[in-house]
A and B are shown apart, each in its own frame.
Chain A
Amino acid sequence: MRPVAIIGIGKTAFGAFPDRDLRSLAVEAVGHALTDANLPAASVEAFYLGNFAGPSFVGQNHLAPYIGTAAGFTGIPCTRFEDACASSGSAFFHAWQSVAAGVYDIVVAAGVEKMTSQSTPRVTEILAGAGDMSGEGRAGATFPALFAMIARRHMHQYGTTREHLAAVAVKNHSNGAKNPLAHMRKVVTLDQALAGKPIAEPLTVYDCSLISDGAAAVVIVPAYRAPRYTSRSVRVCSVAQTSDYVALDSKKDITCFPAVQSAGQKAYQAAAVSPKEIQLAELHDCFTIAEIVASEDLGFVPKGQGGPWAAAGCSALNGSLPINTSGGLKSKGHPVGATGVGQICDVVMQLRGDAGERQVARHQVGLAQNLGGSGATCVVTILKAA
């Protein structure tokens, strides 16, 4: 396998954009990434697009060529990847494989979702389709409900508290308030987070990520070619994608995600990096409990200690391992199909030293973790500053 580098990143703002359609968001992100890479669209050899539910949210199928042609790609393979909220993590994994294997030299991986044109109950129902609709979905399980049940069990087994969950929300909102592309640039206090409207007990509205529109894109090439295009490339050390049961009730212990644990182990091993060497991470905080569980599954903190660790400030901007410096899905927003590649863009910004007010002091090695459903797909990527 050949070493691979990211030579361009591009994101739209995440938010509610009633006057923007799905295609224009994706085309904007791809355009920013190509400009950043100093490359024309005509040089791209393949297009890998992550999207969860375009057909349900906006009634459009066949999305990859629909977007690819509008972005200026002609005649190349354009393919959509769907793995729930890990759709663009999956697109990035397959794009990386194709370059690493020597199939292509210039590839674009992107993700997009347009969610805000639907009502909240309808969005809830579409998202529930990422679970097992023959069992848990039929019983009335929403994604907040599934993660609420994970939180309840984590509280029961490890003593995690509502205050621990709220601390994650407070931290991520504090970071997101400093991110010009974040959906909800608003600081929240611990008291506000604790007093939020209940969504699925014990989770309140402050424990849940946002329904957002947005897109993100990256351009990747073999590492040896990167200096031809830019002096600001970032090395892809490893990408690992894993899977597990879709139904939460198929798992023996719901306080951990085997797919996250194994994706982490594979990514650490392939990159020859240990969890202790990670200096910043974007973790998939679709709900506050998910960030806590991911910090345990990825070996940043012993099992059960994720809550106290976050509440002690260890994962804050100035902590020992800053997590979700972008604001995370909680504050930056969660246009589900765009999230995986969006996280990679956010890590690249930190590694390049381009994160402005959110810039962390140590920024040589970063990790992105993208989760699909209640742990059925996970993609972990480890990146290093060139």
Chain B
Amino acid sequence: MPAPDSSDATVYTETIVHSPPEQYAADAPYQLAIVDTDDGARLTVRILGKEPHERAHIGDRLSFVEERDGVSYYRKSALPSPAEEFSETPRPLV
């Protein structure tokens, strides 16, 4: 088993699993990825989030969230917060 690694990471490859094994049926669909951590490890991890903007692609940066039952969970980095999204909306010139 790879040593728990709490550093951030970059997506090497990823998939969204729609047809899970029996034990993970409740989680599907879920995003799985092989990542290269900033500490130099390559790991198979879960990426949290079900919304389209939370989906990570090859090359995207990930933030470490937690390690549970030997599995590392990450989240896509630098997701725009609702406030930021609002602030980027063009304002009418008045």
Contact = CB atoms under 8 A, between A and B. Distances in A.
Interface of A: 119-122, 124-125, 128, 134-136, 138-142, 144-145, 148-150, 152-153, 156, 197-203, 247-250, 254
B6 interface: no
12 contacts: A124-B21, A134-B1, A139-B46, A140-B21, A145-B32, A148-B15, A149-B13, A149-B15, A153-B13, A199-B18, A201-B18, A254-B12
B13 A156 contact: yes
Interface residues of B, number: 31
B34 A249 contact: yes
A325 B6 CA distance: 49
Nearest to B27: A140
Nearest to A152: B13
Contacts of A199: 18-19
A121 B44 contact: no
A142 B20 contact: yes
Contacts of B25: 121
Q: Give the secondary structure class of A's interface.
A: helix
Contacts of B13: 149-150, 152-153, 156, 254
A138 B71 contact: yes
Given A150-B13, A156-B58, A139 B32 contact: yes
Contacts of B12: 153, 254
Interface of B: 1-2, 12-25, 27, 30, 32-34, 42-46, 58, 69-72
B18 to A, nearest CB: 5
Contact of B14 (A122, A149, A247): A149
B16 A201 contact: yes
Contact of A144 (B1, B19, B23, B42): B19
Given A144-B19, A145-B32, A254-B34, A249 B43 contact: yes
Given A124-B20, A145-B32, A248-B44, 4 more contacts: A145-B17, A149-B14, A200-B17, A200-B19
Given A135-B2, A140-B32, A141-B32, A120 B46 contact: no
A156 B34 CA distance: 14
Which of B13, B20, B43 has the largest number of chain A CB atoms within 10 A? B13
A156 to B, nearest CB: 5
A122 B58 contact: no
Contacts of B17: 140, 142, 144-145, 148, 200
Contacts of A121: 19-22, 25
B19 A142 contact: yes
A156 B33 CA distance: 14
A139 B19 contact: no
Contacts of B14: 149, 152
Nearest to B19: A199
A203 to B, nearest CB: 8
Contacts of A254: 12-13, 34
B1 A135 contact: yes
Contacts of A247: 44
A250 B41 CA distance: 10
Contacts of B34: 149, 248-249, 254
The residue among A119, A142, A153 with the most chain B CB atoms within 10 A of its own CB is A142
B54 to A, nearest CB: 15
A250 B17 CA distance: 21
A154 to B, nearest CB: 9
A153 B15 CA distance: 10
A120 B69 CA distance: 25
Contact of A201 (B15, B46, B71): B15
Contacts of A203: 15
A125 B34 CA distance: 20
- Ranked nearest first, the 8 interchain pairs of A and B with the lowest CB-CB distance are A148-B15, A125-B21, A136-B44, A121-B22, A149-B13, A134-B1, A153-B13, A201-B16
